[in-house]
Amino acid sequence: MKMFDLTGQKAIVTGVGSPRGLGRSIALGLREAGAKVAVISRSARVFDIAREDGFLAGQADLTDRAQLEQVFADLVAQLGTLDILINNHGMTFVHEAESVPLEIWDRMLSTNLGTVFHLCQLGGRIMLRKGYGKIINMASVMSFSGGNKIPAYAASKGGLAQLTKALANEWIGRGINVNAIAPGLIETEMTEGIKNNPARRDYFASRMPIGRFGRPDDVQGTAIFLASHASDFISGAIIPVDGGFLSS
């Protein structure tokens, strides 16, 4: 057995709506390791990415439970089964805590946490019947830190870390590894607001001993590791991929 070989594995990756996003990079890494990959986004751009990269694709607003269940079922049917689930989708919103609109709070908790549990539940049912599976959630360095002016994001990512551990406790003895990756500041469309804000950009830069922001490809290797047999004895881990942010 080649420890990092994903040949024959069937994977779903969410949040693959940006040509230069983290989700696309991870999906490409899985494909290059041998997996058959299906991708999901709320953006119609997912179909262009899928055509270019050789993925199956589905479009859905994952906060709509009916849409989520339908796109998940359709893609699993096309894949034939599910071995790897990577919950990469999410949203952020910068605002002072005292005036965050509650509808934003509700949507962010639903998007970043509620939908992840729903997908884990659907994927977990398939994997439990097989006695094998890998679930990888996309946490954040803000799973460890409260950040500044991102209360809903920090709360959702802190909750996601605890959800990962809770599912790991229930499922590792039944063949499913549940782990999370906690990226630092990665150069994607989602982080352009930080890069364009001198104060926030300088704060992050000062906390990153590596001396640069991350690139989507910097997360690829960790995702392949957690999706492969190389991580069979790891579950409930929240792995920072942050250029040293948390250690500074």
pLDDT tens, position by position, 147-196: 888 999 999 999 999 999 999 999 999 999 999 999 988 887 766 766 67
pTM of the model: 0.94
Would you state the torsion angle of the CA atoms of residues 106, 108, 109, 111, taken in this order, to the nearest 10 degrees? 120
Paired strand residues for 181 = 138, 239
In angstroms, rounded to a whole number, what is the distance separating the alpha carbons of residues 117 and 120? 5
CB atoms within 10 A of CB 203: 15
Distance CA 31, CA 24 (A): 10
Token pair recorded at residue 191:
């982080």
Query: Nearest to residue 88, comparing CAs of 42, 136, 52, 125?
Result: 136
- Whose tokens are 């679930």? That residue is 135
* CA dist., res. 20 & res. 37, Å (int): 17
Mean pLDDT over the full length of the chain: 94
The alpha carbon of residue 102 and the mean position of all alpha carbons in its chain are separated, in whole angstroms, by: 24
Residues in Cβ contact with 16 at an 8 Å cutoff, skipping those fewer than 6 apart: 23, 24, 27, 39, 40, 41, 46, 49, 55, 57, 88
Q: CA–CA separation, 99 vs 152, rounded Å?
A: 12
The strand pair at 10-14 and 84-87 is best described as parallel
Buried b (16+ CB within 10 A) or exposed e, 169-179: eebbeeebbbb
Helices assigned H by DSSP within the chain:
22-32, 45-53, 65-79, 102-109, 115-130, 151-171, 192-195, 198-206, 217-227
Three-state SS for 137? Answer: strand
Q: How far apart are CA 96 and CA 94, in angstroms?
A: 7
pLDDT over 90 percentage in the chain: 80
Active-site choice (144, 153, 171, 213): 153
Tell me what pLDDT residue 193 has.
67
CATH of 10-238, one of 3.20.20.100, 3.30.70.360, 3.20.20.105, 3.40.50.720: 3.40.50.720
In angstroms, rounded to a whole number, what is the distance separating the alpha carbons of residues 116 and 108?
Answer: 12
% residues pLDDT > 70 (the chain)? 98
Which of the two residues, 199 and 87, has the higher pLDDT score? 87
Tell me how far apart the alpha carbons of residues 243 and 106 are, in angstroms, rounded to a whole number: 31
Q: Is position 132 annotated as part of the catalytic site?
A: no
Tokens 């782990």, located at residue: 179
Q: Phi and psi at residue 45, in whole multiples of 5°?
A: -65, -20
Q: How far, in Å, CA of 16 to CA of 23, rounded?
A: 5
Average pLDDT of the residues in 217-221: 95
Q: How confident is the model at residue 1, as a pLDDT?
A: 57
